Amino acid sequence: MSEVVSYRRVDDIGVLVINNPPVNALSHAVREGLLVALEQGLADDQARALVIIGGGRTFPAGADIKEFGQAPKSPSLPEVIDRIEAADKLIIAAVHGTALGGGMEITLGCDYRVARADARMGLPEVHLGLLPGAGGTQRLPRLIGAKAALEMIVEGKPAKAAKLYEAGILDDIIDGDLEAGALAFARKLADDNAPARPLCQRAVSAVKDSLFADFRAGIEKKKRGFLAPFHCIEAVRAAVERDFDAGVACERELFAELLSSPESAAQRHVFFAEREVAKVPGRAKDTPKRDIQQVGIIGAGTMGGGIAMNFLSAGIPVTMVEMKQEALDRGVSLIRKNYEATAKKERMTSEQVEKAMAKLSTTLSYDDLGDADLIIEAVFESMKVKKQVFAELDRVAKKSAILATNTSTLDVDEIANATSRPQDVVGMHFFSPANVMKLLENVRGKATADDVAATVMDLSRRIGKVGVMVGVCHGFVGNRILHKRQEQAVQLVNEGATPDQVDRVLHDFGLPMGPFAMADLAGLDVGWRIREDIRENDPDNAPERNWMDALAEAERWGQKTGAGVFEYAEGDRTPRRSEVAHAEIEAYRAAQNISPRDIDDTEILERCLYVMVNEGARILEEGIAARALDIDIVWIYGYGFPVYRGGLMFWADQVGLSTILERIRSFHVETGAEVWKPAPLLERLVAENSRFADL
Ligand code: T1G
């Protein structure tokens, strides 16, 4: 008997229990154990039917992703499922938790499926750059039709039991004890001589000729750069156009292509990196955390409101503070407007909106924050203003409170030293729009206490964010790297490229938008004020004045003023070429005696991305980020770096660090610019023939 799969009989029904914590991943041992237990059940004369059920918190949540890339071991999952389907006894899958990927495919090999009401099932392989490779693309269309199967497989979103029952995937929903309910269900089937229902013998119902072409056209824009969604379409098409065995062979082939693709390697890296970032090196798993039951937020502007929504949606009461009543009223109505927009898209019910809004209270007095466990400051990005706010918080906040700043660039240590309790101060850098963007850069100051750091990391997950712990420096991890790229982008335009060309190259690479469309979205005034702040407070590092400053000073602030580097038509966010901006650029070149040259796309891509990699290496050297995967997750969830490239540092490893170093060295020789001085870490890794991933 295997350790991970057991067989026993309960009166006249055999039960196969899979127990491979934490998520019953279908590792080699589980597959082997399943076959052994299955044969035992089939050979058990007193067992009239068999139930497959998961132990612990869930039915199998898929193949063991850690085994991908290793030499395949038999039995494969398709072999196990084919054996289940060919069995001469009825087999019922009893689902709780999340039956995902190969787990759901096992249920499709069974004759009947039942589940608890809170169970979910789905085929999320596409998020790993794969497709359901154990018959799911052939059996699901036979069960629910090709169109519904296509949506489920290409979107990869799990569905709730009620929806699954409606769709005909589930045969019953079990209230109370799942095993008891499944046994009763199996017994009734046996009593009624219910038929076996092997899906492999069922035909796929007819579809519209244009189904696959229409579906492909419908996802082209949204799935730009991904490989797997389009392979999924071809696999489901095979289910319609070929017989079962030929369809399975086609699925196998497409799966093998994806499994060896760089896109899937990248997406699998991101799957594990997203979980690894929560485990901060050097922090014990059992580090105590502070109890966060009430939150205060200073500032009811766009950021303050968005931040508040995260806590309200997680059921945590929020007190919002502002200087003036109209600012408070504006903040509250913006929050309600955002919630109602979400409800309109049926992503929330109106009851949920009212429940969240009921947890929001407002005040004009800091004194009402005396009970808050965490207070987040989201005021104007000025050191002077932030220090005043923190001095006030120091006066009113209770002893155990955590004081957090939402600054996106400023020195968290300097802010902390404006209080008598720097150990309770931490940065919580949300990204705009704060109620949508998944990333939360948690900034640990020199004095920040362990329990404070552990608390904000834990809280990140509680409010639906991916928290990454970073150190203090100008711009932390995300914006520090962004600034280098933006500088390079402006430099390329100074030398002869156009903003349109630079944006096209980075958009084609897979970023949601180019540097200049992004600057226009964020607001040219934001970057300009930060540069002005440095020019005023740190003249030694004052950035050179350029055409972007000229545009900002002309109040061309981007989308919010209808014009910036690009022009924007009323109500349209599409960036269009701007003759005014081009004139500013030419004027700047003339003033600097620059004769513009032709710059090709390769140079643009290399300069914009390699400067980021070099800065990433410096950030790792300084310990501002603990691992390369922290930088990957920051750039994927904060700046839309394409997930099918795995993040900035993973991508650099794929390109090859020696290739990147060679180009960086030549840019350094050509320009002599400090920014192109190769990071010692990069040079060391190349010398050792290592990668960022090996650190
Ligand atoms: N394989 C290996 N490890 C897994 C795993 C898996 N499928 N799923 C989770 N883990 C680990 C995870 O790394 C973490 O480890 C721990 O379990 C808890 O996970 C042939 C090709 C199930 C919804 O894509 O979506 O089947 O960090 O922190 O938030 O067609 O995990 O503790 O060391 O995420 O409660 C398809 C992936 C595989 C589902 C639970 N299946 N998993 O979420 O916990 S491909 C998936 C999830 C496949 C077949 C194909 C989630 C979850 P550690 P967690 P959670």
pLDDT cut 70: percent of the chain above it:
100
Q: What is the pTM of this model?
A: 0.95
What tokens does 125 get? Answer: 């392989």
Closest CA to 107 of 121, 87, 125: 121
For residue 538, the model assigns a pLDDT of 81
pLDDT tens by residue, 448-501: 999 999 999 999 999 999 999 999 999 999 999 999 999 999 999 999 999 999
Q: How far apart are CA 217 and CA 601, in angstroms?
A: 27
- The residue type found at 141 is P
**Among the atoms of ligand 1, which is closest to the Cα of residue 127?**
24
568 phi and psi angles, rounded to 5 deg: -130, 125
Q: Ligand 1 mean position to 61 CA, how many Å? A: 6
Q: What is the mean pLDDT of residues 675-687?
A: 98
Q: What is the mean pLDDT of residues 125-140?
A: 98
**Among the atoms of ligand 1, which is closest to the Cα of residue 77?**
20
Q: Ligand 1 mean position to 62 CA, how many Å? A: 7
Q: Up-side HSE of residue 683: CA atoms within 13 Å toward CB? A: 7
Closest CA to 114 of 94, 91, 96: 94
For residue 382, the model assigns a pLDDT of 87
pLDDT cut 90: percent of the chain above it:
94
- Catalytic hit among 105, 392, 606, 615: 105
Minimum CA distance residue for ligand 1 atom 37: 61
Active site residue 105: yes
At residue 1 the predicted structure's pLDDT band, cuts being 50, 70 and 90, is low
For residue 543, the model assigns a pLDDT of 84
At residue 673 the predicted structure's pLDDT band, cuts being 50, 70 and 90, is very high
List, chain by chain if needed, residues with CB within 6 Å of any ligand 1 atom. 22-23, 25, 61-66, 77, 98, 100-102, 105, 124-125, 128, 130, 132-134, 136, 272, 275
Q: Lowest mean pLDDT: which of 25-34, 46-55, 533-542?
A: 533-542
CA 575 to chain centre: 26
pLDDT tens by residue, 613-645: 999 999 999 999 999 999 999 999 999 999 999
For residue 137, the model assigns a pLDDT of 98
Alpha helices in 319-411 (DSSP H): 325-344, 350-357, 383-396
For residue 537, the model assigns a pLDDT of 78
Residue 157 has pLDDT above 80, yes or no: yes
Q: Ligand 1 mean position to 4 CA, how many Å? A: 17
For residue 526, the model assigns a pLDDT of 84
pLDDT tens by residue, 528-548: 887 887 888 788 878 889 999
Which residues, listed in sequence order, are joined to residue 174 by a DSSP beta bridge?
Answer: 116
Q: What is the mean pLDDT of residues 250-254?
A: 98
Sequence-separated (6 or more) residues with CB below 8 Å from residue 580: 551, 556, 563, 567
pLDDT tens by residue, 260-272: 999 999 999 999 9
pLDDT tens by residue, 573-621: 999 999 999 999 999 999 999 999 999 999 999 999 999 999 999 999 9
Residue with tokens 């070929």: 242
Q: Lowest mean pLDDT: which of 289-303, 367-381, 527-541?
A: 527-541
Assess contact for 47 and 15: CB atoms under 8 A: no
- Average per-residue pLDDT for the chain: 96
Active site residue 179: no
Sequence-separated (6 or more) residues with CB below 8 Å from residue 169: 113, 121, 143, 144, 159
For residue 312, the model assigns a pLDDT of 98
Which of 65, 280, 461 best tests ligand 1's pocket when mutated (most atoms within 8 Å of CB)?
65
- Catalytic hit among 85, 125, 274, 441: 125
What tokens does 182 get? Answer: 């499944």
Q: What is the mean pLDDT of residues 348-361?
A: 96
CA 121 to chain centre: 20
Q: What is the mean pLDDT of residues 648-653?
A: 98
Q: Ligand 1 mean position to 23 CA, how many Å? A: 7
Centre a 10 Å sphere on the Cβ of residue 107 and count the other Cβ atoms it contains.
28
CA–CA distances in Å: residue 243 to residues 142, 237, 460? 11, 11, 48
Burial (CB count <10 Å: 0-12, 13-18, 19+), residue 94: buried
Strand order in the sheet with 439-443: 360-363, 318-321, 295-298, 374-377, 402-405, 425-430, 439-443, 466-470
pLDDT tens by residue, 340-354: 999 998 889 999 999
Minimum CA distance residue for ligand 1 atom 41: 62
Assess contact for 216 and 229: CB atoms under 8 A: no
Work out the angle between the directed axes of helices 146-155 and 136-144 (0-180°, nearest 10): 130
